[in-house]
Amino acid sequence: MSDVNQFTITEAVKKSFATEPGSRLELLLQKLIDHVHAYARETNLTHDEWMAALNFLYDCGKISTPDRHEFILLSDVLGFSAIVDMINTRGGATEGSNLGPFYLPESPDKTLGADLAGPRSGVSVLCRGQVRDTLGHPIPGAVIDTWQADGSGTYPIQEEGQDKYDLRGIFRADENGNYWYTTVLPKPYTVPYDGPVGDLLRAGNRHAWRAAHLHYIVRAEGMRAITTELFFANTEYIDNDAVFGVRKSLITELQPYDASANADIQLQRKPDAQVYFDFVLAPA
Domains by residue range for the chain, with CATH: 9-66 (no CATH), 75-283 (2.60.130.10)
Q: Is 236 within 8 Å of 188 (Cβ atoms)?
A: yes
Q: Give percent above pLDDT 70 in the chain.
A: 99
pLDDT of 124 reads 97
pLDDT of 102 reads 86
Q: Are strands 251-252 and 226-232 parallel, antiparallel or unpaired?
A: parallel
Q: Is 149 within 8 Å of 195 (Cβ atoms)?
A: no
Q: Is 94 within 8 Å of 218 (Cβ atoms)?
A: yes
pLDDT of 158 reads 83
Residue range 5-19, pLDDT digits in tens: 998 999 999 999 999
What is the per-residue DSSP string for 161-179? TS-TTTTEEEEE--TTSEE
What mean pLDDT is reported for the chain? 95
pLDDT at residue 155 above 80? yes
pLDDT of 11 reads 94
First to last CA, the chain: 45
Amino acid at position 171, single letter = F
Determine whether 135 is exposed, middle or buried from the number of CB atoms within 10 Å of its CB (0-12, 13-18, 19+).
exposed
- Name the least confident of 100-104, 166-170, 202-206, 242-246: 100-104
Residue range 103-131, pLDDT digits in tens: 888 899 999 999 999 888 899 999 999 99
Residue range 37-72, pLDDT digits in tens: 999 999 999 999 999 999 999 999 999 988 788 999
pLDDT at residue 1 above 90? no
Residue range 259-269, pLDDT digits in tens: 999 999 999 99
Amino acid at position 206, single letter = R
In angstroms, rounded to a whole number, what is the distance separating the alpha carbons of residues 33 and 270? 56
In angstroms, rounded to a whole number, what is the distance separating the alpha carbons of residues 148 and 156? 9
74: pLDDT confidence band, cut at 50, 70 and 90?
Answer: very high
pLDDT at residue 101 above 90? no
Residue range 174-186, pLDDT digits in tens: 999 999 999 999 9
Q: What is the pTM of this model?
A: 0.88
